[in-house]
Copies of this chain bind each other. A is one copy, B any other.
Amino acid sequence: MARTKNEDTEQQILEAAKKVFQLKGMDGARMQEIADEAGINKAMLHYYYRSKQLLFEAVFSHAFAMMAPQLNQILNDDSSIEDKIRHFTHDHLSFIMAHPYLPKFIIQELNRNPDFVTNMKTKTGFPSIEKFKTQVAAEVKQGILKPIEGEQLFINVLALNIFPIIASPMIKAFVRAEDEEYTRLLETRKTEVANFIINAIKA
Protein backbone atom coordinates (compact mmCIF):
# COMPACT_ATOMS: atom_id res chain seq x y z
CA MET A 1 0.00 0.00 0.00
CA ALA A 2 0.92 3.60 -0.26
CA ARG A 3 1.08 3.48 3.52
CA THR A 4 4.08 4.98 5.35
CA LYS A 5 2.31 8.24 4.66
CA ASN A 6 -1.14 7.74 6.08
CA GLU A 7 -0.72 9.16 9.56
CA ASP A 8 2.09 11.39 8.41
CA THR A 9 -0.12 13.20 5.92
CA GLU A 10 -2.98 13.44 8.35
CA GLN A 11 -0.68 15.05 10.88
CA GLN A 12 0.75 17.45 8.31
CA ILE A 13 -2.76 18.54 7.43
CA LEU A 14 -3.65 19.10 11.06
CA GLU A 15 -0.53 21.18 11.63
CA ALA A 16 -1.20 23.30 8.57
CA ALA A 17 -4.85 23.67 9.55
CA LYS A 18 -3.87 24.78 13.05
CA LYS A 19 -1.60 27.42 11.62
CA VAL A 20 -4.14 28.84 9.20
CA PHE A 21 -7.28 28.53 11.35
CA GLN A 22 -5.63 30.02 14.40
CA LEU A 23 -4.29 32.92 12.38
CA LYS A 24 -7.38 33.68 10.30
CA GLY A 25 -10.29 32.06 12.09
CA MET A 26 -12.93 29.79 10.61
CA ASP A 27 -14.37 32.44 8.30
CA GLY A 28 -11.06 33.84 7.11
CA ALA A 29 -9.36 30.51 6.53
CA ARG A 30 -9.26 28.98 3.04
CA MET A 31 -9.00 25.27 2.32
CA GLN A 32 -6.58 26.00 -0.51
CA GLU A 33 -4.30 27.91 1.83
CA ILE A 34 -4.28 25.02 4.28
CA ALA A 35 -3.43 22.62 1.47
CA ASP A 36 -0.61 24.87 0.27
CA GLU A 37 0.70 25.22 3.80
CA ALA A 38 0.72 21.43 4.09
CA GLY A 39 2.27 21.07 0.64
CA ILE A 40 -0.43 18.72 -0.62
CA ASN A 41 -3.45 18.62 -2.87
CA LYS A 42 -6.66 20.20 -1.63
CA ALA A 43 -8.59 16.98 -2.17
CA MET A 44 -6.54 15.38 0.58
CA LEU A 45 -8.11 17.66 3.15
CA HIS A 46 -11.49 16.21 2.33
CA TYR A 47 -10.12 12.70 2.08
CA TYR A 48 -8.92 12.87 5.69
CA TYR A 49 -11.38 15.27 7.28
CA ARG A 50 -14.47 15.27 5.01
CA SER A 51 -15.25 18.98 5.35
CA LYS A 52 -13.94 22.35 6.44
CA GLN A 53 -16.23 22.21 9.45
CA LEU A 54 -14.83 18.88 10.66
CA LEU A 55 -11.24 19.95 10.06
CA PHE A 56 -11.95 23.10 12.00
CA GLU A 57 -13.45 21.13 14.85
CA ALA A 58 -10.37 18.94 15.01
CA VAL A 59 -8.22 22.04 15.30
CA PHE A 60 -10.49 23.63 17.87
CA SER A 61 -10.60 20.53 20.07
CA HIS A 62 -6.84 20.34 19.90
CA ALA A 63 -6.50 23.97 20.91
CA PHE A 64 -8.93 23.61 23.75
CA ALA A 65 -7.17 20.49 24.96
CA MET A 66 -3.96 22.49 25.27
CA MET A 67 -5.58 25.07 27.52
CA ALA A 68 -7.67 22.86 29.77
CA PRO A 69 -4.86 21.14 31.75
CA GLN A 70 -3.42 24.50 32.73
CA LEU A 71 -6.72 25.57 34.19
CA ASN A 72 -7.10 22.33 36.06
CA GLN A 73 -3.81 23.12 37.71
CA ILE A 74 -5.09 26.21 39.50
CA LEU A 75 -8.50 24.73 40.05
CA ASN A 76 -7.60 21.35 41.47
CA ASP A 77 -4.20 21.14 43.12
CA ASP A 78 -3.84 21.26 46.87
CA SER A 79 -1.63 24.23 47.71
CA SER A 80 -2.91 27.47 49.24
CA ILE A 81 -4.73 30.01 47.11
CA GLU A 82 -1.73 32.31 47.30
CA ASP A 83 0.68 29.64 46.08
CA LYS A 84 -1.68 28.52 43.35
CA ILE A 85 -2.06 32.04 42.08
CA ARG A 86 1.67 32.68 42.08
CA HIS A 87 2.39 29.47 40.22
CA PHE A 88 -0.50 29.70 37.82
CA THR A 89 -0.05 33.30 36.73
CA HIS A 90 3.63 32.69 36.05
CA ASP A 91 3.29 29.38 34.22
CA HIS A 92 0.15 30.26 32.35
CA LEU A 93 1.40 33.62 31.13
CA SER A 94 4.64 32.00 30.01
CA PHE A 95 2.63 29.45 28.11
CA ILE A 96 0.32 31.84 26.32
CA MET A 97 3.20 34.19 25.53
CA ALA A 98 4.67 31.23 23.67
CA HIS A 99 1.32 30.45 22.03
CA PRO A 100 -0.45 33.79 21.74
CA TYR A 101 -2.84 32.61 19.05
CA LEU A 102 -4.37 29.93 21.24
CA PRO A 103 -6.43 32.18 23.52
CA LYS A 104 -7.21 34.56 20.67
CA PHE A 105 -8.47 31.69 18.58
CA ILE A 106 -10.52 30.00 21.29
CA ILE A 107 -12.21 33.15 22.48
CA GLN A 108 -12.90 34.45 18.99
CA GLU A 109 -14.45 31.19 17.84
CA LEU A 110 -16.51 30.74 20.99
CA ASN A 111 -17.94 34.18 20.36
CA ARG A 112 -18.68 33.27 16.78
CA ASN A 113 -20.50 30.14 17.80
CA PRO A 114 -21.46 29.95 21.48
CA ASP A 115 -23.08 26.56 20.96
CA PHE A 116 -19.58 25.19 20.72
CA VAL A 117 -19.25 25.54 24.41
CA THR A 118 -22.11 23.16 25.00
CA ASN A 119 -20.17 20.33 23.39
CA MET A 120 -17.02 21.24 25.28
CA LYS A 121 -18.70 21.15 28.65
CA THR A 122 -19.67 17.52 28.30
CA LYS A 123 -16.15 16.37 27.57
CA THR A 124 -14.13 14.75 30.31
CA GLY A 125 -11.33 16.94 31.55
CA PHE A 126 -13.43 20.06 31.20
CA PRO A 127 -12.27 22.29 34.04
CA SER A 128 -14.53 22.42 37.06
CA ILE A 129 -14.39 25.39 39.38
CA GLU A 130 -16.07 23.72 42.36
CA LYS A 131 -13.00 22.84 44.38
CA PHE A 132 -11.53 26.29 43.86
CA LYS A 133 -14.71 27.94 45.10
CA THR A 134 -14.77 25.80 48.22
CA GLN A 135 -11.16 26.56 48.93
CA VAL A 136 -11.59 30.30 48.51
CA ALA A 137 -14.62 30.26 50.78
CA ALA A 138 -12.63 28.33 53.39
CA GLU A 139 -9.67 30.73 53.31
CA VAL A 140 -12.02 33.68 53.54
CA LYS A 141 -13.70 32.12 56.57
CA GLN A 142 -10.29 31.48 58.17
CA GLY A 143 -9.45 35.13 57.71
CA ILE A 144 -6.60 34.43 55.31
CA LEU A 145 -8.33 36.27 52.49
CA LYS A 146 -10.57 39.29 52.31
CA PRO A 147 -14.16 38.39 51.39
CA ILE A 148 -14.42 37.51 47.71
CA GLU A 149 -16.41 35.09 45.62
CA GLY A 150 -14.41 32.23 44.09
CA GLU A 151 -15.92 32.89 40.67
CA GLN A 152 -14.91 36.53 40.74
CA LEU A 153 -11.38 35.72 41.81
CA PHE A 154 -11.10 33.11 39.09
CA ILE A 155 -12.33 35.57 36.49
CA ASN A 156 -9.86 38.18 37.72
CA VAL A 157 -6.93 35.79 37.48
CA LEU A 158 -7.83 34.80 33.94
CA ALA A 159 -8.53 38.38 32.93
CA LEU A 160 -5.20 39.73 34.16
CA ASN A 161 -3.32 36.95 32.42
CA ILE A 162 -5.17 36.51 29.15
CA PHE A 163 -6.37 40.00 28.30
CA PRO A 164 -2.91 41.47 27.63
CA ILE A 165 -2.43 38.72 25.06
CA ILE A 166 -5.72 38.87 23.22
CA ALA A 167 -5.87 42.65 23.23
CA SER A 168 -2.19 43.12 22.45
CA PRO A 169 -2.58 45.21 19.29
CA MET A 170 -4.84 47.64 21.10
CA ILE A 171 -2.73 47.85 24.23
CA LYS A 172 0.46 48.26 22.23
CA ALA A 173 -1.15 51.31 20.66
CA PHE A 174 -2.28 52.77 23.97
CA VAL A 175 1.01 52.41 25.76
CA ARG A 176 2.97 53.28 22.61
CA ALA A 177 5.02 50.10 22.89
CA GLU A 178 6.68 48.22 20.06
CA ASP A 179 7.00 44.45 20.13
CA GLU A 180 10.17 44.29 22.19
CA GLU A 181 8.97 46.73 24.81
CA TYR A 182 5.63 44.99 25.01
CA THR A 183 7.38 41.68 25.59
CA ARG A 184 9.28 43.30 28.45
CA LEU A 185 5.99 44.51 29.86
CA LEU A 186 4.57 41.01 29.71
CA GLU A 187 7.71 39.56 31.29
CA THR A 188 7.19 41.90 34.23
CA ARG A 189 3.62 40.67 34.53
CA LYS A 190 4.76 37.09 35.06
CA THR A 191 5.48 38.03 38.67
CA GLU A 192 3.65 41.34 39.11
CA VAL A 193 0.20 40.00 38.30
CA ALA A 194 0.49 37.62 41.24
CA ASN A 195 1.66 40.42 43.56
CA PHE A 196 -1.25 42.55 42.40
CA ILE A 197 -3.80 39.84 43.07
CA ILE A 198 -2.31 38.79 46.40
CA ASN A 199 -2.29 42.41 47.57
CA ALA A 200 -5.92 42.67 46.57
CA ILE A 201 -7.16 39.62 48.44
CA LYS A 202 -4.80 39.01 51.36
CA ALA A 203 -6.50 39.94 54.60
Contacts and interface: CB of A to CB of B under 8 A. Distances in A.
A24 to B, nearest CB: 7
Interface residues of A, number: 56
A111 B172 contact: no
Contacts of A1: none
B158 A167 contact: yes
A108 B25 CA distance: 10
Contacts of A185: 151-152, 155
Contact of A176 (B111, B129, B166, B168): B129
Secondary structure dominating the interface of A: helix
Interface in A89-134: 104, 106-108, 110-112, 114, 116-117, 120-121, 126-127, 129
A101 B111 CA distance: 10
A188 B108 contact: no
Contacts of A160: 156, 159-160
Interface stretch (A37-45, A50-58, A79-87, A192-200): A192-200
A27 interface: yes
A152 to B, nearest CB: 6
A84 to B, nearest CB: 16
A105 B152 CA distance: 24
A201 B198 CA distance: 11
Contacts of A163: 155, 158-159, 162-163
Nearest to A196: B200
B111 A156 contact: no
B199 A110 contact: no
A47 interface: no
Interface in A152-203: 152, 154-156, 158-160, 162-164, 166-177, 185, 188-189, 192-193, 196-197, 199-201
